[in-house]
Structure formats: C-alpha cells, structure tokens
C-alpha cells in the first residue's frame, strides 16, 4: 500500500525512526531516511533499496529545503512525511531553564512544523499525501519530570489537529501516533537487560515495554491508503498504559515480578 511512494522519515538513525524507515523500505516505498547525525551508507535501509540516508536537522529550514529539492529531483514529489525526530530532557519544572524549553520545542514542535511547511506544498500539488506525527502518551496526560517535553508533545498533537483541518480538503491526511514506553536509547540505559527495562512497565496491562517495530506498524497504517478515511486521529501504542493502572498485587492476578 506504500509501494513506490516517496517517504521522508526524520530521526531515522535510531530507535523508532530507524524501524519506521526500515518498514516503509521493506514495503516498497522510496524512503529518504534522515537524521541530524552525519548520514552515510544506507543507514536503516536495505543495501539494494532505492532510497537514501541523508543529513537533516529538523530545526534548520535550509536542511528541509535541501531534502525537498533532493526528493523532487531524484524521485518525484514526496507523498509521505513522518515527523519522528525528538529529544527528551528530564528535569523538574522548577529546575527547567527557558533555554531547555526552547531547545525541546525547537526540535519536537518546530521541527515538525518546518517539515509540514516545506513538504506539504509538494503534496498539495498532487492532491495526495499522508503526514504522521510521532507524539507521545505524554501528549494525552501529564507526568512529573517531563514538563518541557510533555508541553512540546501537546503542541505537536495540536498541530496535528490543525494541520488535519487545513490540509484534509487539499487531499492530505495528517494523523498522530502516541507511543508509550518503547525500548530505545532515548529512555533506556544501554546497560539495562530487557527484563530490567520491562520491569518498569509491570503495572500496565501488557506488563512490558514496547518495541520500535510495534510502533512502526501503526505508522505504516496511517501512511498507507489503508487508513484512507483517517484524518486528525491518534493511535496510541502503549501496551495499555493510558487505560489505567494494573494492580498485580491483587489476589488472583498475574504478577510478573
Ligand atoms: N522511546 C519512548 O519511550 C518514546 C515514547 C513516546 C514518544 N517517543 C518519541 O518517539 C520519537 C522517536 O524517539 P526514540 O525513542 O526512537 O528516540 P531515539 O533517541 O532513539 O531517536 C531519536 C532520533 O532523533 C534524532 N534527532 C534528535 N534531534 C534531531 C534534530 N534536531 N534533527 C533531526 N534528528 C534529530 C536523533 O539523532 C535520534 O537518531 C521521538 O519524537 C520521541 O519523543 C519516544
């Protein structure tokens, strides 16, 4: 369902972006995998893939313009954009500096805004496009320690709704994915075992952390025509974390500890 579509994925050197780019590539899309880190080789893409891995800092409008020009010149107009790049900073609200808030907003919110602002016009000309913004369950509630991050993700969720309203009539569907706790370098100490990391999530219904590949499946659905009637919607991929609290200590309930 995404075969031969030109797809741009940000933050594709690691974690979910890497898994999303790889899945779209396997499904036959022509993927322009991007990241602010110096990109070389095929990155997350298969060796024989038609796509490329290039450097794009989402906060730099000139980088976006370069990637748009590359897409148009080499492959044709992009019709899928996945705004995935993000950063996280743990700090209490009272210890978060204005500079830290600006830095997080710049990547998590402005990066996606610049992406939409640059890439959507190509989609509008074709009357065809799907944009997927990777928000977070922190865009549906609040958690202590991530005030700046959560605010940036609520802003991105708002942008998703506004963009869906404005671009829907022009043939572009804009939707969001809200991952829960996913095993990536952003949140996982490299020294932790899988069991130790999963243990953090024992009080959610699925009792484990998620995998990047599980989030990528939701992105594939929203990027493809299988979701042709979805606009401004949100898919939560969180093992049930936002459903409620699972009390494993109640008698008769499975307790993985
Ligand atoms: N891991 C989680 O539990 C979790 C949960 C909810 C939402 N998310 C969101 O999912 C997305 C992917 O996160 P991840 O967990 O895979 O993290 P990650 O740290 O593994 O990957 C993030 C990637 O974004 C890139 N990046 C950072 N700043 C950039 C910039 N200015 N321009 C371009 N690329 C930049 C990094 O180089 C990195 O490759 C992020 O938006 C994150 O906020 C993560």
Task: Give the CATH number of the domain where residue 212 resides.
Answer: 3.40.50.720
Residue 165 lies in a domain: yes
Q: In what order do the strands lie in the sheet with 172-179?
A: 52-55, 30-35, 6-9, 80-83, 129-134, 172-179, 234-237
Residue 95 lies in a domain: yes
> Given pLDDT bands bounded at 50, 70 and 90, which one contains residue 164?
very high
Annotation marks residue 253 as catalytic: no
How many helices (H) and strands (E) would you count in the chain? 7, 7
Catalytic residue, from 75, 149, 201, 246: name it: 149
Contact 238, 204 (CB under 8 A): yes
Residue 255 lies in a domain: no
pLDDT tens for 82-137 read 999 999 999 999 999 999 999 999 999 999 999 999 999 999 999 999 999 999 99
The atom of ligand 1 lying closest to the CA of 135 is: 7
**Is residue 144 pLDDT above 90, yes or no?**
yes
Residue 37: CB within 6 Å of ligand 1? yes
Q: How many domains does the chain have?
A: 1
What DSSP character marks residue 139?
Answer: G
Residue 69 lies in a domain: yes
Please give the structure tokens belonging to residue 24.
Answer: 């779209």
Quote the ligand 1 centre to 86 CA distance (angstroms).
4
């Amino acid at each position: 369902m995404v075969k031969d579509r030109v797809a741009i994925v940000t933050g594709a050197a690691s974690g979910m972006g890497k898994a999303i780019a790889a899945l779209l590539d396997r499904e036959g899309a022509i993927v322009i995998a991007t990241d602010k880190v110096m990109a070389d080789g095929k990155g997350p893409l298969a060796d024989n893939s038609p796509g490329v891995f290039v450097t794009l800092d989402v906060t730099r409008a000139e980088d976006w313009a370069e990637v748009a020009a590359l897409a148009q010149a080499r492959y044709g107009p992009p019709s899928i954009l996945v705004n995935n790049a993000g950063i996280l900073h743990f700090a209490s609200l009272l210890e978060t500096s204005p500079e830290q808030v600006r830095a997080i907003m710049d990547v998590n919110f402005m990066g996606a805004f610049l992406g939409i602002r640059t890439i959507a016009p190509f989609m509008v000309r074709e009357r065809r496009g799907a944009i997927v913004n990777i928000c977070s369950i922190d865009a549906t509630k609040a958690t202590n320690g991530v005030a700046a991050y959560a605010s940036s993700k609520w802003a991105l969720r708002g942008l998703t709704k506004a963009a869906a309203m404005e671009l829907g009539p022009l043939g572009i569907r804009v939707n969001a994915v809200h991952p829960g706790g996913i095993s990536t370098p952003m949140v996982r100490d490299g020294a932790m075992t899988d069991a130790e990391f999963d243990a953090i999530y024992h009080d959610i219904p699925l009792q484990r952390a998620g995998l990047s590949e599980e989030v990528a499946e939701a992105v594939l659905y929203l990027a493809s025509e299988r979701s042709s009637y979805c606009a401004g919607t949100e898919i939560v991929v969180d093992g049930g974390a936002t459903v409620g609290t699972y009390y494993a200590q109640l008698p008769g309930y499975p307790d993985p500890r």
